[in-house]
Amino acid sequence: MDSDQPTLPLTGDVRIPLLGFGTWQATGEAGCQAVLAALDAGYRHIDTATMYGNEKEVGRAVKESGLRREDVFITTKLPPDRVGRERETIEASLAALDTDYVDLWLVHWPPSAPGDSIPVWREMLAARDENMARTVGVSNYSIGQIDELIQATEETPAVNQIRWSPSLYDRQTYAAHRDRGVALEGYSPFKASDLSDPVLVRIAQAHDVSPAQVVLRWHIDHEIIVIPKSVTPERIRANADVFGFSLTAEEMRDIDALAG
Ligand SMILES: NC(=O)c1ccc[n+]([C@@H]2O[C@H](COP(=O)([O-])OP(=O)(O)OC[C@H]3O[C@@H](n4cnc5c(N)ncnc54)[C@H](OP(=O)(O)O)[C@@H]3O)[C@@H](O)[C@H]2O)c1
C-alpha cells in the first residue's frame, strides 16, 4: 500500500483515508511501536482518543516515522466527562500529540445529560474555527441525536464513528448517514465479526486473502471508513494489504446478507 490509497471527502474540504489504524488498548512503548509499524506499512490515518491514554505515543510515532505531518490524518476524541472543559481537553490532546491541529476531533459519546449535547457541539465547532481541528464529528450518536445537532447549529458532523461490521450492516442506518452527508466510520470490524463464517471464508479463499481482509475490503467498497487495530506486526501489514483485490457485486450482497 502507498499513500495514494482511497480517501473520502468530508465537509470542510478535508479528505480522510478510508483505511485507518485503531489504537485502543495499544499503549506505552508497544503502542508507539504499533503506530510506527502501521505508518511503515502504509497507513496514513491514525485513530486515537483522550480516553486511550496513548496520544503521546501516537505523536512520537508520527515524528519518528519521518513523514510530514500533513501526510498523516490524525483523529482524536473528547471524552463525555469533559463537558465544559472542551478547550483545555483539545489543548492537552494537541500538546500530547505534539501537533498544532488534529484532522478530526470527535465527541466520543453523546453527553449523558441530553441538555449538554448542543453546547458541547458548539465548543467542537469553535475549536474547528480556531484551526485546532480541521473538521469535527461525533461517535456513538444515533441519527436522531445527529439531527438535533444539525437543527440547532446548521452544522453537520463530518463523521459518525460507530460499531460496524458485516454482521451489524443496516441498510437504513447506512442510507441515513449518506442522506445527511455524514461519513460513516466503523469501529471494531473484527470484534464485531465472526471471522470463521463460511461466507467470509469462501470469499477469502476465492481471492487468496484472509476473512479479516475481506471484512476490511467490504467496508472500503461501501465507502465506509474502517480502523482495524492490531499490535501484531504481521497483522498490521496484512490489514493494510487490502487494495490488491476487490469484491464482486454478488460477493458484496452475500456479505451484506450476513446481518440477516
Ligand atoms: N469510538 C468508539 O467508541 C470506539 C470503540 C471501540 C473502538 N474504537 C476504535 O476502533 C478501533 C478498532 O476497534 P477495536 O480495537 O475495538 O477492535 P478490532 O480492530 O475489531 O479488533 C482488534 C482485535 O483483533 C485482533 N486482530 C487484528 N488484526 C487481526 C487479523 N487480521 N485477524 C484476526 N484478529 C486480528 C487484534 O489483536 P492484536 O492486537 O493482538 O493483533 C485485537 O485483539 C479501536 O482500536 C479504536 O481506535 C472506537
Q: Is 32 inside any structural domain?
A: yes
108 is in an annotated binding site: yes
Torsion, Cα 195 163 13 56, to 10 degrees, reads -90
Look at ligand 1, atom 39, and give the residue with the nearest C-alpha.
Answer: 230
Q: What is the pLDDT along the chain (260 residues), one digit of tens a residue?
A: 445 789 999 987 899 999 999 999 999 999 999 999 999 999 999 999 999 999 999 999 999 999 999 999 999 999 988 999 999 999 999 999 999 999 999 999 999 998 999 999 999 999 999 999 999 999 999 999 999 999 999 999 999 999 999 999 999 999 999 999 999 999 999 999 999 999 999 999 999 999 999 999 999 999 999 999 999 999 999 999 999 999 999 999 999 999 97
Q: Is 1 inside any structural domain?
A: no
Question: CA-to-CA distance for 57 and 36, rounded, in angstroms?
Answer: 10
Inter-residue contact 147 to 181 (CB < 8 Å): no
Q: Is 2 inside any structural domain?
A: no
| Alpha carbon distance, N-terminus to C-terminus of the chain | 33
- Show the domain range for 208: 7-259
CATH number of 43's domain:
3.20.20.100
pLDDT of the residue at 4: 73
Q: What angle do CA 104, 224, 77 make, to 5 degrees?
A: 25
pLDDT of the residue at 2: 45
Q: Sign of the C-alpha dihedral, residues 58, 63, 66, 67? A: positive
Contacts of 170 by beta carbon, 8 Å cutoff, 6+ apart: 259
The Cβ of residue 188 has, within 10 Å, a number of other Cβ atoms equal to 18
* Active-site residue (options: 43, 52, 101, 141): 52
3-state secondary structure of 251: helix
3-state secondary structure of 247: coil
pLDDT of the residue at 11: 85
Ligand 1 neighbourhood includes 160 CB (under 6 angstroms) = no
In total, how many domains does the chain have? 1
Inter-residue contact 55 to 15 (CB < 8 Å): no
Q: Is 107 inside any structural domain?
A: yes
Question: CA-to-CA distance for 27 and 41, rounded, in angstroms?
Answer: 19
Is residue 169 annotated as a catalytic residue, yes or no? no
Q: What is the pTM of this model?
A: 0.98
Q: Can you read off the three cell numbers belonging to residue 76? A: 482524536
pLDDT of the residue at 3: 55
Q: Is 192 inside any structural domain?
A: yes
Q: Is 119 inside any structural domain?
A: yes
Contacts of 47 by beta carbon, 8 Å cutoff, 6+ apart: 20, 21, 22, 23, 75, 161, 187, 227
Ligand 1 neighbourhood includes 213 CB (under 6 angstroms) = no
How many A from CA of 213 to the centre of ligand 1? 13
Inter-residue contact 75 to 107 (CB < 8 Å): no
Ligand 1 neighbourhood includes 232 CB (under 6 angstroms) = yes
Q: Is 35 inside any structural domain?
A: yes
